Structure 1
Amino acid sequence: MAASLEQLRRCHFAVDLGAARTRVYVKGAGLVVDQPSVAAVNTRNGALIAVGEFAERMTGRTPAYIRVVRPVSGGTVVDIEMAQRMLRHLLGEGMRRTLRRKTWLRAAACTPHDADPLAQRATVETLVGLGARRVELVDTLIAAAVGCGLPVERAEATMIMMCGAAATQVAVLSLGSIVNAERVPVGGEAIDHAIVQHLRQAHALVLPSQSVRPLQLALSGNGLTPQGPASAEIHGRDVATGLARSVRIDTAAVREAIQTPLTAVLDGIYRVLRECPPDLVADLVDRGIMMVGGSALLPGLDQMLREATGMPVHIAERPELCAVQGLGAMLEGRIEPLILDPLGTC
């Protein structure tokens, strides 16, 4: 980890390419981009019409010749050219001109814990297309742990749960490295999909694409728990008639609908704990789990995990920004490297 930190201090900017949002941190300037990972393209001439929030608002509202695309899926770049075009427009001409002044432009980027070489290469090529001469890759779990202030460099166990849009990553860290980790292909989008399917089957109601974040619409406070509201009103389109309609849904039925994706997440936590050394698991009894990522803000999710695992569960102060803030701390040199000096021979 010491060598990687030394390399990261030489980087000029860092990118967190997420399935939901793209964030860019520039050394000395801070967070300069925090926009949805969405682009709108004119299919007739290939022109880029919009990126970020404006493109996201166009989802489901465009004519046939405009296509809304997401060049990043599950933290992996699936369309390198479109990702480069999106990043160029998100950065803006002024910031790109500033970065081009660097004689040897270096970049850092987050990658999922189990990213294969092809996925890593796609991330590297995306940033090379922006002018980077060298790209350093950092495990998303390490970056997020640093960003939320966990003492990852100590000989103590810390457990982090990265709640992303497309996947959930769980890991136990100690001495600056990942001891054991698990990636579950279930994230906020899977929970959204489960509730959308429940509304369609039980109430014959279709939600608009911009209202798919159902728990933020339907529930509040402890919404996912039995202590939350008993019912909530939802607006959508009737499957049969196509007309706008409102229904009052039972939140207990919603909790039942999302049990399948949440059970997969809990299984991932149990697998990580089973394969960890007992000494590290004992540390976690008091420290518990730190939740980061945008989906960590789903109402009541932390309480459900607390009841299921019997461990303390905490949500980071700004969970959606932890990964990019961790990269920024490494770039700015705010993290001291872990140095393990070998003992001299007696």
Structure 2
Amino acid sequence: MTISLEALRRCSIAVDLGAARTRVYLRRTGLIVDEPTVAAVNTHTGGLIAVGALAERMTGRTPEHIRVVRPVSNGTVVDIDMAQRMLRLLLGNKLRRAWRRRPLVSAAVCVQHDADPLAQRAAVETLTGIGAKRVELVDTLIAAAVGCGLPVERPEATMIVVCGAATTQVAVLSLGSIVAAERVPVGGETVDHAVVQYLRNEHALMLPSQAVRPLQLLLKNSADGAPAPPSTEVHGRDVATGLARTVRIDVGSVRSAIRTPLTGVLDAIGTVLRRCPPDLVADLADRGIMLAGGSAVLPGFDTMLREATGMPVNIADHPDVCAVEGLGAMLDGKVQPLLLDAMVS
């Protein structure tokens, strides 16, 4: 897909519909929505009970007549109607107060690099259903690179790794375009699953979904060199008896368990580098790799990439909002196009 900066400047909002979080950027205003992509539905009436953070807290704690759903999976809208209803509630009065008498004309949305026509159509229909008259599709990799402050318009190589909840995208960019890109089904959810499986196999303990993220924070502190205990207590349910049980686990063993699924990202980086011209690969030896996305701060992830590739690895200042911030910068006209005039002999 091609990006027209002129067309993007006519857009009023930018939307990043991620599998984990939904973010909306309002032109000349900033980020107005940053909520989990979750909705809670009453199965008897079909009505929405909650969306965003409140709905996420209901996960695993609802009675039979309440169902917690995620309308976006693997970066693709899988339930258009539910995504539209969720967005209407998330925007709500925020958008009405911002617009006043000015109608919503057009919108921009991030889509994955290799999104098929059905995925692109689902993203377009989701936004047209909430009032957008025109929808511009922008590659997530380019939007995230702009949000990280990378000089994507220059004739130099920049490598970005966008780590999402369900997938990780790797790309090398030059002259404002993608030279080579690869996507692997590895993300934050994969790491969560690895932690749950480790505790189930090694300690016969079923870990609640809400307890995975605090454990990751503990692992991150120990990976950053901060003082952290060698072991910690985890509360869960015994696999055999079904009763509540507390076990003490080794932090180092859990950190080793989550490194295994992350090796898929290394394979993707190698594939992308093999597709690039040698001159661009030489640029990356000095410029290194930029990590973006909500899962870029996974414990020890940057260290593993640095050791495996031998290249510098940096994490964006605000990795979770890079894509929507980059898209917002395009809407606000902060990105200037690269003009290549034909030479006349």
Same fold (TM over 0.5): yes
Aligned residues: 344
CA distance in 1, matches of 2:151, 2:33: 27
Q: In structure 1, what residue type is equivalent to 2:11?
A: C
**In the alignment, is residue 48 of structure 1 matched against residue 45 of structure 2?**
no
Q: What's the CA shift for 1:232?
A: 2.9
Query: In the alignment, residue 112 of structure 1 is paired with which amino acid?
Result: Q
RMSD, aligned CA: 1.9
Q: Give the match for residue 280 of structure 2.
A: 280
C-alpha spacing 1:119/1:45, structure 2 compared with 1 (3 Å): same
Task: Report the equivalent of 1:168.
Answer: 168
* Letter aligned with residue 342 of structure 2: P
SS of corresponding position for 1:178 = strand
- Please, which runs of 5 or more residues in structure 1 have no aligned partner? none
Partner of 2:223: 223
Change (3 A) 1:3 1:89: closer
SS in 2 for 1:235: strand
Q: Check conservation: 1:154, 1:174, Cα contact below 8 A.
A: yes
Within 1, Cα distance between the matches of 2:222 and 2:281? Answer: 28
Given the alignment of the two structures, is residue 133 of structure 1 paired with residue 102 of structure 2, yes or no? Answer: no
Matched, 1:302 2:302: yes
Deviations 1:98-141 (A, max 9, x none): 54844561100000011000000000000000111100000000
Secondary structure of the 1:14 match is strand
1:203 and 2:203 correspond: yes
* CA pair 117-97 structure 1, distance change in 2 beyond 3 A: farther
Q: Could you tell me which residue of structure 2 aligns to residue 326 of structure 1?
A: 326
Determine helix, strand or coil for the equivalent of 1:108.
strand
Q: How far apart, in 2, do the equivalents of 1:30 and 1:328 lie?
A: 7
Q: Which whole-Å deviations, capped at 9, do the CAs of 1:251-283 have from their partners, x for residues lacking one?
A: 333233224311111101111111111100000
Which deviations, in whole Å up to 9, do the C-alpha atoms of 1:5-55 show, x marking residues without a partner? 010000000100000000000112210000000000000010000000000
- Quote the residue 2:20 is aligned against: 20
Does residue 263 (structure 1) correspond to residue 263 (structure 2)? The answer is yes
Show structure 2 runs of 5+ residues with no match. Answer: none
Letter in 1 for 2:289: I
Q: Partner residue of 1:115?
A: 115
Contact 1:221 1:300 in 2 (8 A): no
Q: 1:240: Cα distance to partner?
A: 2.0
Identity of aligned residues (%): 72
CA distance in structure 2 between the partners assigned to 1:265 and 1:256 by the alignment: 16
| Cα distance in 1, alignment partners of residues 48 and 103 from structure 2 | 29
Alpha carbons of structure 1 residues 218 and 41: separation in structure 2 relative to 1, 3 Å: same
In structure 2, the partner of 1:34 is 34
8 Å Cα contact 2:170-2:181 kept in structure 1 = yes
Give, in whole Å, the separation in 1 of the partners of 2:220 and 2:71. Answer: 32
